[in-house]
Amino acid sequence: MIAVRGLAGLKTRDLAREIGCANGAVYNLVADVDELVLRVGSRTLRRLDEALSAAVRAGNPSPQETLVRIAIAYCDFAAENLQLWRALFEHRMEADKAVPDWSIEDQMQLFRHIYVPLAALFPKRGAEELGVTARSLFSSVHGMVALGLEQKLVAVPLPALRKEIAGLVRAMIDGLIAQAA
């Protein structure tokens, strides 16, 4: 239902009707909608992880081109799974409720795809520093994808967005290498 109607289109009553049970029975499967959304998010993250893994496996290019491929794969996955991908970031827990550990774990896993080629590029850097850089790289690509796929503003055609992302990722890495030298 999230995939079809978006996160805001997920209603427990519709869901109950769809799976053929009473309204209240939904809460036998899940504590509340927050958990439901997080569990869907978990599946989405797993599929995203597979997509990124496939992008890394394909061919055996340089670490920098691997990073470019990861970024493009991220972009493609977001475009092809727009609503599910958006749900990952649109969803907010109530202020007092904590995100469960298994969900945090899911999110952290993704950084390793970026971490590995980055470590190859910057063997002098420590794990801590590499983690921060991996995070920054991910964040900036995420930002480009998020705002690029937002039809709210000017709609950027997907091929143009992919090209733009590839260009900026290469620029970032080239720049980082130049800084390190």
Partner DNA sequence: ATATTTATTGAACGATGTTCAAGTTCTCTG
Partner DNA sequence: CAGAGAACTTGAACATCGTTCAATAAATAT
Binding site for DNA (CB under 7 A): 10-13, 21-28, 32-34
Q: Which pair of structure tokens corresponds to residue 59?
A: 């061919």
Q: Which two tokens stand for residue 79?
A: 């475009």
Site for a copy of itself, residues 148 to 177, rule: CB under 8 A = 148, 152-153, 156, 160, 164-165, 167-168, 170-176
From residue 65 to residue 104, what is the string marking binding to a copy of itself with x (rule CB under 8 A)?
-------------------------x-x--x---x----x
SS3 label, residue 26: helix
Q: Which residues contact 95 (CB under 8 A, 6 or more apart)?
A: none
Q: Quick one: DSSP state of residue 60?
A: -
Q: Would you tell me the crossing angle of helices 111-121 and 33-57 to the nearest 10 degrees?
A: 40
Tell whether residue 146 is a contact of a copy of itself (CB under 8 A). Answer: yes
Among positive and negative, which fits the CA dihedral 125, 131, 134, 139? negative
Q: Which is nearer to a copy of itself, 31 or 95 (CB)?
A: 95
- Which of a copy of itself, DNA, none does residue 54 bind (CB under 5 to 8 Å by kind)? none
**Binding footprint of a copy of itself, residue count (CB under 8 A):** 41
50 and 140 Cβ atoms separated by less than 8 Å:
no
Among 6, 76, 82, 122, binds a copy of itself (CB under 8 A): 6
Rounded to whole angstroms, the Cα distance separating 163 from 144 reads 11
> Contacting a copy of itself (CB under 8 A), which of 30, 35, 140, 158?
140
Q: Helix 63-80 and helix 111-121: axis angle, to 10°?
A: 160
Q: How many CA atoms lie within 13 A of 123 on its CB side?
A: 2
Q: Least Å distance between CB 52 and a copy of itself?
A: 17
Interface stretch with a copy of itself, choices 11-19, 30-38, 116-124, 127-135 (CB under 8 A): 127-135
Residue ranges that bind a copy of itself, judged by CB under 8 A: 6, 8, 90, 92, 95, 99, 104, 107-108, 132-133, 135-144, 146-148, 152-153, 156, 160, 164-165, 167-168, 170-176, 178-179
